[in-house]
Structure 1
Amino acid sequence: MATDPYGNQGQPRRRGMGFGGIRWWVLLLFAGYAGYYWISNRSTDALTGETVLIDKNISPEDEKQLGLQAWDELLQTERPVSPNDPNAKAVRDIASRLIAKIGPVSDSLAAEHGLTAPHIEKTFDWDVNLLESEQVNAFCLPGGKMAVYTGLLPVAQNQDAMAVVMGHEITHALLRHGAQRMSEQKLAQMGQMAGAMSGMDQSQMQAVMAVYGYGRALPYARKQETQADEMGLMLAAAACFNPKEAIPLWERMGQASGGEAPPEFSSTHPNPGTRIQNLQALMPKAMEYRKKFCETAQ
């Protein structure tokens, strides 16, 4: 034991413990493994040209099975609107038009990056339902199971705006955003395990995970939303919908939230103002896609 000048005995220092009682060698080992995991599982997304992290053990078929399981569980609690309902028919018609344009739009986007589209949509078992709920929302699961909530109808107001939303949700499935999120979560779990094994206390762990969340996880999620906005807009335009309806749509979305949305930096989604700016910048490209792929465009 060390003795200070005042005669007080210090605390024994445990072997392998560094500053603040943290085993830094444990953190370094985990950091090395995390780096290896990222490098060995990264790939280039053909539709965005971006380098993405998708665990090679997660195949599109695995995602599809997870999507089917989630869909079956959802239908045990959610009530689909009758398929003969006019709104349900309209939603299915919009989906059919969007799905028909996935192939050519995917090929065009991939060609912009000198790549070949993977066309995982060919393996999807598409199914679209209108669900009775006040939620202003829609989703598309991996494998093509898709739902629109009735609460979205009065906010969308028209088929063009609805096509923008549905194109966005379809794009999440096409870009394998679910597999990307699962892979990112694995990295986060590695960090939590490293922190626990290194001797970090609860407050230190919370601080580290907060840095990871604000610095990596949330920006990554917002980037996925922006990617879905772009390809979704191109799908809607190619399917002969008016992409310009995306702007008033997000103005209405902002009004529907009642100003209760969290600040953008602490959210998984861009705020409506940011989305509108991004969509306005994409509008010339969307109009080109409409002219190129919409046979009835004037």
Structure 2
Amino acid sequence: MRNDPFGQSRGQAPRRRGVGNLRWLILLGFLVYGGCYYFSNRTQDPYTGETVLIDGSIGHEQERAMGLQAYQEILSQERPLPKSDRTAQQVTEIARRLIEKVPEITAELAAEHGMPAPDHWQEFEWDVNVIPSEQANAFCLPGGKMAVYTGLFPVARTEDALAVVMGHEIAHALLRHGAQRMSQQKLAQIGQMAGAASGMDPQQQQMVMAAMGYGYLLPYARSHETQADEVGLMLAAAACYDPNEAIGLWQRMGESSGGQAPPEFSSTHPNPGTRIQNLQALMPKAMEYRQKFCRM
């Protein structure tokens, strides 16, 4: 093939070096943006003393509005028991006792980390319903909207164990885990955009996101569960429930799954064995809280 005077072979497209350089510049720009987003939105959580990621643009009012919308959608699809139902009244009383201890436990945990007590929970409009379902589950949304599924009762068995679960769910709302998950998702989206802009094919992007999930997102989600276990256990103990019931509860949870739970590294939750070990380590502190704050 004859070369032209400029040294390029005829029939060959000129090499586009500028495109590759531009992609690297775009990738670098996204990485800088992601780093700035991460470091500028970190804050210290007063309940745990840990540094967490919460987007500064996510306000408490926005969280509560999103929680209320989700709650209304759930109740429109899953009809709860009447408030006059005996089971609903039992759950309402447990919730009342736990919520009554939120101010004291919030102040106590924040003081342990040398921080002022947060007050975002003061704007919560608490509500709790019982939903007939085989699910062994419960939740508390941002803003204090709660529900307990009837499938949880055979696993919990006792009021004390039920209070541990409900305390755990309340803790998620107090710890602003919803806002933290939203912030993590935004960081993940920045990573996806960076991968697309750098010219990665879909398979490569999927591999990178999987690595980010196993290395960052899933461990972060498991830490949320561990944090909620601790704060929820302190709430239950302060409300005069027996924190020791948490051990049997998670043993029964493990049995109810039939040993089919995924390996911990690929799950958003600690496995029951790890959870029980953590709770056992927390039990002396929980008993101290019970002695200090239980006034029944």
Supply the distance in 2 between the matched residues of 1:106 and 1:13 (Cα, whole angstroms): 63
Q: CA deviation at 1:85?
A: 1.8
CA deviations over 1:216-271 (Å, ceiling 9, x no partner): 00000000000000000000000000000000000000011111111100000000
Query: What amino acid maps onto 1:49 in structure 2?
Result: G
**Are residues 205 and 100 of structure 1, via their aligned partners in 2, closer, same or farther at CA, if it must alter by over 3 Å?**
same
Match of 1:79 in 2: 79
Q: Which runs of 5+ in 1 are unaligned?
A: none
Supply the distance in 2 between the matched residues of 1:52 and 1:63 (Cα, whole angstroms): 17
After the TM superposition, which of the residue ranges 40-49 and 220-229 deviates more from structure 2? 40-49
Q: CA deviation at 1:26?
A: 2.0
Which structure 1 residue ranges, 4+ long, deviate > 6 Å from structure 2?
Answer: none
SS of aligned partner of 1:140:
strand
Match of 1:49 in 2: 49
Q: CA deviation at 1:110?
A: 0.4
Residue 234 of structure 2 is aligned to residue 211 of structure 1: no
SS of aligned partner of 1:116:
coil
Match of 1:231 in 2: 231
Supply the distance in 1 between the matched residues of 2:71 and 2:22 (Cα, whole angstroms): 44
Residue 179 of structure 2 is aligned to residue 179 of structure 1: yes
Match of 2:33 in 1: 33
Matched residues, number: 289
Match runs of 1:271-282 below 5 Å? 271-282=271-282
SS of aligned partner of 1:58:
coil
Query: What amino acid maps onto 2:17 in structure 1?
Result: R
Supply the distance in 2 between the matched residues of 1:185 and 1:283 (Cα, whole angstroms): 34
CA contact (8 A) 1:22 1:200 kept: no
Residue 104 of structure 2 is aligned to residue 104 of structure 1: yes
Match of 2:138 in 1: 138
SS of aligned partner of 1:220:
helix
Supply the distance in 1 between the matched residues of 2:202 and 2:94 (Cα, whole angstroms): 49
Match runs of 1:1-298 below 5 Å? 13-16=15-18, 18=20, 23-296=23-296
Supply the distance in 2 between the matched residues of 1:28 and 1:22 (Cα, whole angstroms): 10
CA contact (8 A) 1:22 1:199 kept: no
Supply the distance in 1 between the matched residues of 2:98 and 2:235 (Cα, whole angstroms): 6
Q: CA deviation at 1:87?
A: 1.3
SS of aligned partner of 1:23:
helix
CA deviations over 1:180-236 (Å, ceiling 9, x no partner): 000110000011111111110011101100110000000000000000000000000
After the TM superposition, which of the residue ranges 227-236 and 118-127 deviates more from structure 2? 118-127
Q: Which runs of 5+ in 2 are unaligned?
A: 4-8
Q: CA deviation at 1:16?
A: 3.8
Supply the distance in 2 between the matched residues of 1:13 and 1:291 (Cα, whole angstroms): 76
Supply the distance in 2 between the matched residues of 1:119 and 1:199 (Cα, whole angstroms): 46
Q: CA deviation at 1:150?
A: 0.3
Supply the distance in 1 between the matched residues of 2:96 and 2:238 (Cα, whole angstroms): 12
SS of aligned partner of 1:147:
strand
Supply the distance in 1 between the matched residues of 2:173 and 2:29 (Cα, whole angstroms): 34
**Are residues 13 and 169 of structure 1, via their aligned partners in 2, closer, same or farther at CA, if it must alter by over 3 Å?**
farther
Query: What amino acid maps onto 1:86 in structure 2?
Result: R
TM normalised by structure 1 equals 0.93
SS of aligned partner of 2:259:
coil
Supply the distance in 2 between the matched residues of 1:49 and 1:258 (Cα, whole angstroms): 36
Supply the distance in 1 between the matched residues of 2:13 and 2:263 (Cα, whole angstroms): 45
